[in-house]
Structure 1
Amino acid sequence: MTIRRVNAEERLTTSFPLQAYAFETSPRSVARAEEFRGYLPYNEGNRTLVVEENGVTLAAASAIPMRQNLRGEVLPMAGVAGVATHPLARRQGHVRALLHQLLDEMRDEGHQLSALYPFRPSFYARFGYVGLPAPRTVTFSPADLGGLLRVDLPGEVRWERVGEGYQDWRTFTERCLDERHGFAIFPGYRDVGVRDRDEHWLLTARSGGTVTGAVIYRIDDHGGTLAAGDLLAADPVARMLLLQFFARHVDQVERVRVQVPVDEVPELWLTDLAVHVEARVARPASSAPMARLLSIDALDGLAVGPGRVRVELTGDRWLAGSHLLDGTTGALEVVTGAAVTAAQPPAVTLTAAGLSALAYGVLDPVEIGLRGLGEVPAEALPELRTLFPRRNPYLFSDF
């Protein structure tokens, strides 16, 4: 049994068939198999590893070189995807071996973070991943937006096929990456798939010629659903411009469905807006995302509060050792070596998932102990809360 990296052409007969069996209708048609070649350009920069035995592919996993915003700093992130195992080779440790090597290689190349959508969260929790908030799906009737049609809003909207407006879409998501904690985007070779397929409408809000909001959507049928992706808006005016456009579909669709981050409150968008907000998490098809730090260096230089704590990281392949986390200057300094031993601030013991939960802002330090992700004495609680205030990461992922 061997693990090796496959090239683009080899994906057609190794990783793609396993992924199709795991995530699509099965058995696949001959025509579907022939479509695999069309995916190659959008996977060209991925790192794909496979487990093989006697020429048979037993398991596959890929890492996509992405970028993610962690508390204001945009860092290289390995997006793990396409994890699949041959049905006769499951539960034999193949995925564990693949992930170890895959993350080893991505970390060595400088990727300091990693994120994924798990088939089973508890499995990836053993690799140091911690859960992030799932996006909220918001459903409402365009009739309830009718009042917006009488409002004179500053700015304008542009409506076009995404193939035509792709560069505006990409530029605005780059802006969101710089401004939004947790936001992540695909590399260009992967992202252009939405342009090349050209299967969606692109709506953008603009102010003074600058894009301030954007959403990609499709309409399934007359009297049906206007199904949109993430409603991205830099400010309330941009959001209202996008909603005002949806209001014009009152005689075309019954409902509008969009995705929003967890800190949006759609019930307050308008008076008398009847809205259904849902975050559905289920196995195996609708899991919330997960993420982790791959390197302690990801924390160095982050804007933090003036806390100070010693951290012992245990039980992890990629994060281990003693570190002093010092935020007294407002920029986190990670100190190792003799200075850690000499330091006298409160000490905590954390797993990789525990430190990742604090860095991403998804758990309070008290919850770290309650969840079995570390040991945090009472005197360290205020220091950690000052260093890592709660945040709502928004792991954006487009079509």
Structure 2
Amino acid sequence: MHIRRLAAEDRLTTSFPLQAYAFEASPMTAVRTDEFRAYLPYNAGNTTLVVEEDGVTTAAASAIPMRQNLRGAVLPMAGVAGVATHPLARRRGHVRTLMHRLLDGMRDEGHQLSALYPFRASFYERFGYVGLPRRRTAVFAPADLAPLLRAELPDELVWERIGAGYPRWRDYTDRCLRERHGFAVFPDFRAVGLRERDDRWLVSVVRGGETVGAVTYRIDDHAGTLIADDLLFDDAYARASLLQFFARHVDQVRRISVELVPGELPELWLTDVEVHTEARVHRPDSAAPMARLLSLEALADQPVGVGRVLVELVGDRWLAGRHLLDGTTGKLAVLPVDGAAEGRLPCARLTAAGLSALAYGVLDPVEVAVRGLGEVPVEAATELRRLFPRELPYLFADF
């Protein structure tokens, strides 16, 4: 078995066909094979590793150099994607070997976080990943938004093809990255695919010259569905402006489908709105995202509540040892454990997934223990809760 990092052109005959077999209709047509070359620019900065045996590519995995907001800090994040194995080489440990090598390299390059969409969540939990909320899909009739047509709102709407409006969209999502916990964006070489495909409309909400909301969408047919991507907005006025725009399609489409951030409640938008909201998580085609810390440096200087606790990190390749998490100054310090702290401060024993769950705000310390991701005594749970209060992350990027 030989592990090799691919050069750009190598992907055409190695990782791309293997990933297509794993995630697309198969066998591929000749036309599909020809389309691979068009994807090369959007993979230019990725790190792609493959396993080769007797000249045959038997497994592949890629990491996208992304950025993600962790409780207000924008940090380098490795987005793991395209994990695929030859059907005759499965269950032989190739993915485990590639994941170790891939994350070793990304961590060495300074990536402090990692995220992915798993084929099986329990598999990646063993690599220290923990589940994040999946975006919700809301479906409703545009007629139910009719009351908004009478609303006087303070904003201006800008409507354009995404190819023309891409700079505005990119600037706004970059601002969301700085302001929203869990939010992640692609690097420029990958993100520009949205502009170059130009297969979406963009409607932006502008107030005082600043974008305060935006959504991309397409319409599948007359009397069909307006299919909107993530509904992004700063406040209730901006959200109402976007929904008012949807309401104007009452004589054009039967229904509207829109992606929502976790925690958004469309049943409260208006009186008498009939809406179906779901977050479908199903293996293998509809996974909730997962994420993990790759380095304790990701926690340094995070704004936290006043708390002090010892943590022992176990069972992980990248996070290990005993550490003091000290928030007495209002900013988190990750310190070596000294003799004075031993026996005087509460101590929790955590897996990497357990610590990641606390850092991302998806689990309470008690839930970490119940899930088997650590041992958390009552006193330690109290301190960890002060340091890492619950906060719903929203990944945004889909890869």
Instruction: Name the structure 1 match of 2:323.
Output: 323
1:394 aligned partner: 394
> How far apart, CA to CA, are the structure 2 residues paired with 1:186 and 1:78?
10
**Would you say the 8 A contact 1:303–1:331 is kept in 2?**
yes
1:92 aligned residue: 92
Given that 1:57 and 1:86 are in contact with CA atoms closer than 8 Å, whether structure 2 keeps it comes out as yes
1:240 and 2:235 equivalent?
Answer: no
Asked whether 1:126 is paired with 2:121, we answer no
TM (normalized to structure 2)? 0.98
| Aligned residue number for residue 160 of structure 1 | 160
* Equivalent residue, structure 2, for 1:148: 148
C-alpha separation between the residues in 2 aligned to 1:261 and 1:340? Answer: 45
> Residues 133 and 258 (structure 1 numbering): CA distance in 2 closer, same or farther, change over 3 Å?
same
For normalisation by structure 1, the TM-score amounts to 0.98
Change (3 A) 1:248 1:324: same
Distance 1:26 1:179 in 2: 41
Q: Aligned to 1:192, what secondary structure does the other structure show?
A: helix
User: What CA distance in whole angstroms lies between the structure 1 residues aligned with 2:268 and 2:362?
Assistant: 24
- 1:240-264 Cα deviation digits (max 9, x unpaired): 1111000010011111011111111
Give the deviation of 1:387 after TM superposition: 0.5
Residue 333 in structure 1 maps to residue 355 in structure 2: no
Which residue in 1 is equivalent to 2:366?
366
Gaps of 5+ in 2: none
* Structure 2 counterpart of 1:264: 264
> What is residue 174 of structure 1 aligned with on the other side?
174
CA distance in 2, matches of 1:23, 1:312: 39
Q: Supply the distance in 2 between the matched residues of 1:373 and 1:210 (Cα, whole angstroms).
A: 43
| RMSD (Å), alpha carbons | 1.1
Q: Residue 338 of structure 1: CA displacement?
A: 3.3
Q: Which residue of 1 aligns with 2:22?
A: 22
- Percent identity reads 70
Equivalent in the alignment of 1:350: 350
Task: Give the count of matched residue pairs.
Answer: 399
Q: Distance in 1 between matches of 2:339 and 2:157?
A: 56
> Secondary structure in 1 aligned to 2:206?
strand
Corresponding residue number in structure 2 for 1:73: 73
Q: Measure the CA separation in 1 of the matches of 2:84 and 2:12.
A: 14
Gap change, CA 1:95 and 1:274, over 3 Å in 2: same
Aligned with 1:358: secondary structure?
helix
Partner of 1:277: 277
Taking the aligned partners of 2:216 and 2:151, their CA distance within structure 1 comes to 23
Give the partner amino acid of 2:82: G
Q: Given that residues 138 and 275 in structure 1 are in contact (C-alpha distance below 8 angstroms), is that contact kept between their aligned partners in structure 2?
A: yes
Aligned residue for 2:255?
Answer: 255
Query: Using a 3 Å threshold, how does the CA distance of structure 1 residues 240 and 315 change in structure 2: closer, same or farther?
Result: same
Give ranges in structure 1 of 5+ residues lacking alignment.
Answer: none
> Structure 2 vs 1, CA of residues 398 and 215 (structure 1 numbering), >3 Å: closer, same or farther?
farther
Mapped contact 2:310–2:337 kept (Cα < 8 A):
no
